[in-house]
Chains A and B, each alone.
Chain A
């Protein structure tokens, strides 16, 4: 209001026809929309003749789509589904952003890696379970938090159902943080950052730090004795570090918004990258694994298991040559 070039604080003009009463401001908005609508229908669209293709009647797939005008840059279309997905029907030199992304995606993270049905036999310890338990803890914390959010920040003080949902939220967070710490200890002693997995470790560590901050804003948002005292005590650290200018722990509205909107978005994004990195790189090998079990990183540069098992019973004792033959049968497409 204060900074505006035109001060709109004065009463508006109103147009009155029969039973219709509309303010001039609203009327202008509607007119602008109608004008845009008409322009969108009538203004000639930008033309790019090079990129035209004709798709025959009844044709659905892009494998059939390569037509006369682009024939000199046609990607050969093979029978393999991977090929078809990797290709750009308009020729790879002029690959679209979308096509390029899809191609990269499929090369680095093919569906069988994203959702694998086999894993190295050495993954046979309860410690490996804590990553997915942490993830489950996060899911339950977000779900219970969403119910609290639906009813507003005061609900749980006044309703027994609310108190129960709050208990679910609190205990899921305790579980989440505990599982994460155990996961971290495990990954540390396994040195799981080996083999281009530093980013996996780093996103995990950042997820831990962000989770601590998320929990802190949660404690500030409780609107009870706890939040009052924590707000008072923690402000000195914030102020001393110069952060008080941006984050006032005693501003309940700010803490709540951070807790339920901003920090969760950041956390989920980081955890997402973490999980994708785990799928991309696979789990790290045992320290001093047998050389025969390893193949130098090369072909796809991602260093992960690229097998598709066909009914292997996971017995830890599978002979290496058997595993190798499975790899040969199915892993070659990359």
Chain B
């Protein structure tokens, strides 16, 4: 073993050949440039426009309003998520009792009822009925609000679309009907898209709120507007979506192993699936980095004769040149 290691580290005293490293690098760059330009000319690249809250609210006003209602009820995915947004447990993951997510805690506090619905509504001016509805809602005790939201939830099941607005049968839902009606109108006009972005209304670079809000529909409603587009493009997690790209372009095939773990038990159905996959991939990545030190794995290439193909010509000439060698290791045959 040690002998072999010394040989591997020794200086090469065998045949050499001329080699122009700069020429090689130049040719490689030209080859890749030609290849890239050809592919770009032939196939261009994908650019599907982002989904807007406006498009969602216009396509599915009822589904949209139901998600807004859940935000007010604090029952949406975002509201119950857990760290780093709040103290819920909906997406709190742990591995054999260890949860770094829990240990680090809430670093980006988000109150969806306020951030997604009430704050945007508060910015609306010139609608006295909405303003008084919001005042009434704010002044009401918690139990009253809950009762209003509950009866709105029942009423909306029988809602009908009437022109641009949703017709919800009247019931004892207090100001909630006025509020959510205005909220739908705001979304359909496009005003909500601008309002939800953090640091709005100027220099916006953080889209956490609109994506979380939109995402609440993706989790709660299998046939939500967003889900339907995503599924059609084969981007769902259950469709090995992590590897895929919109249209027929190649995506990130190098994520095949990562997304594969989500398709098998126990990760497929586990509440801690994400963390389990991360742990597996961390171990495998460390394995890749430390291949040279892992017995068995590092010996595999010696046993599988793929290297014979690589050094075909060397082994051939070696055999011809040194027929009588006795003290070397066995000839590869």
Residues of chain B with a CB closer than 8 A to A193's CB: 291-292, 298
A333 at interface (Cβ–Cβ under 8 A)?
A: no
How far does the alpha carbon of A294 sit from the alpha carbon of B5 in the complex, in Å?
A: 12
Within the complex, what minimum Cβ distance (angstroms) separates A21 from chain B?
Answer: 29
A245: nearest residue on chain B (CB-CB)? B107
Give, as a whole number of angstroms, the nearest-CB distance from B307 to chain A.
5
Contact across chains for B36 and A294 when beta carbons are under 8 A apart: no
Q: Is B139 among interface residues, defined by CB-CB distance under 8 A? A: no
Residue of A nearest to B198 (CB): A251
Note all chain B residues with C-beta closer than 8 A to A156.
Answer: 47
Q: In the complex, are the beta carbons of B32 and A228 less than 8 A apart? A: no
Tell me, yes or no, whether A129 is within 8 Å of chain B by CB: yes
A285 touches B7 (CB 8 A): yes
How many chain A residues touch B (CB < 8 A): the figure is 121
Please determine whether B272 and A240 come into contact, CB atoms closer than 8 angstroms.
Answer: yes
B177 at the interface (CB under 8 A from A): no
- Bitwise interface map of B from 266 to 302 toward A, beta carbon under 8 Å scored 1, else 0: 0000001011011000000100111111000010011
Pick out which of these stretches binds chain A: B18-26, B65-73, B120-128, B147-155: B18-26
Write out the residue numbers on chain B whose beta carbons fall within 8 Å of the beta carbon of A282.
12
Interface membership of B134, Cβ < 8 A: no
The contact of A189 among B47, B301, B321, by CB within 8 Å, is: B301
Contact A198–B292 (Cβ < 8 Å)? yes
Q: Please measure, in the bound complex, the distance between the C-alpha atom of A249 and the C-alpha atom of B226, giving whole angstroms.
A: 18
Residues from chain B with a CB closer than 8 A to the CB of A226 are 46, 48, 235, 245-246
Interface residues on B, range: 35 or more
Question: Which of B156-164, B182-190, B202-210 contacts its partner?
Answer: B202-210
Our pick among B47, B250, B290 for the contact of A174 (Cβ within 8 Å) is B250
Most B CB atoms within 10 A — which of A133, A198, A206, A250? A250
A291 vs chain B, min Cβ distance (A): 5
Complex interface: chain B residues within 8 A of A322 (CB): 15
Whether, in the assembled complex, B254 has its beta carbon less than 8 Å from a beta carbon of chain A, the answer is yes
Decide: B310 and A125 in contact? CB cutoff 8 A: yes
Which of A140, A240, A248 lies in contact with B29, CB distance below 8 A? A140
Which of A115, A195, A197, A225 contacts B51, CB < 8 Å?
A225
Question: Does residue B75 face the partner (Cβ distance < 8 Å to A)?
Answer: no
A197–B10 Cα distance when bound, in Å, is 12
Whole-angstrom distance between the alpha carbons of A323 and B310 in the complex?
A: 22
Q: Are B10 and A303 neighbours in the complex by a CB distance under 8 Å?
A: yes
Q: Is the CB of A252 within 8 A of B12?
A: no
Q: How far is the CB of B208 from the nearest CB of chain A, in Å? A: 4
Q: Are B14 and A294 in contact (CB under 8 A)?
A: yes
In the assembled complex, B141 has its CB within 8 A of some CB on chain A:
no
From A37-45, A50-58, A91-99, A231-239, give the one contacting chain B: A231-239
Is B242 an interface residue when CB atoms closer than 8 A count as contact?
yes
In the complex, identify which listed stretch (A23-31, A68-76, A80-88, A163-171) lies at the interface while the others stay far away. A163-171
Neighbour of A239 across the interface among B37, B91, B215, B315, CB < 8 A = B91
Is A320 in contact with B11, judged by CB distance below 8 angstroms?
Answer: no
Note all chain A residues with C-beta closer than 8 A to B322: 290, 292
Contact of A232 with B215 in the complex, beta carbons under 8 Å: yes
Residue among B15, B45, B205, B249 with the most chain A CB within 10 A? B15
B318 touches A290 (CB 8 A): yes
Stretch at the interface among B111-119, B165-173, B324-332: B324-332
A295-316 interface code vs B (CB 8 A; 1 in, 0 out): 1111100011111010111111
Chain A, 108-131, contact with B by CB distance < 8 Å: what is the 0/1 string?
A: 000000011111111111010100
User: Is A196 part of the contact surface with B, judged by Cβ < 8 Å?
Assistant: yes
Chain A residues in 8 Å Cβ range of B22? 115
Interface residues of B in 30-62 (CB under 8 A from A): 31-33, 35-37, 39-40, 43-51
Pick 13 A–B contacts, CB within 8 A, sort by A: A117-B19, A135-B25, A171-B40, A177-B253, A195-B5, A225-B246, A226-B246, A242-B104, A245-B105, A251-B206, A314-B16, A316-B317, A320-B13
Interface positions of B (Cβ within 8 A of A): 5-22, 24-25, 28-29, 31-33, 35-37, 39-40, 43-51, 81-84, 91, 93, 99-101, 103-105, 107-108, 205-208, 211-212, 214-215, 218, 226, 229-230, 233, 235, 237, 241-242, 245-246, 249-250, 252-255, 272, 274-275, 277-278, 285, 288-293, 298, 301-302, 304, 306-307, 309-315, 317-318, 321-322, 325, 327-332
**A contact set with B: CB distance below 8 Å:** 115-125, 127, 129, 132-133, 135-137, 139-140, 144, 156-157, 163-164, 166-172, 174-175, 177, 181, 186, 188-191, 193-198, 201-202, 205-206, 208-209, 212, 215-216, 219, 222-229, 231-233, 236-237, 239-242, 244-245, 248, 250-254, 256, 282, 284-299, 303-307, 309, 311-320, 322-324, 326-327
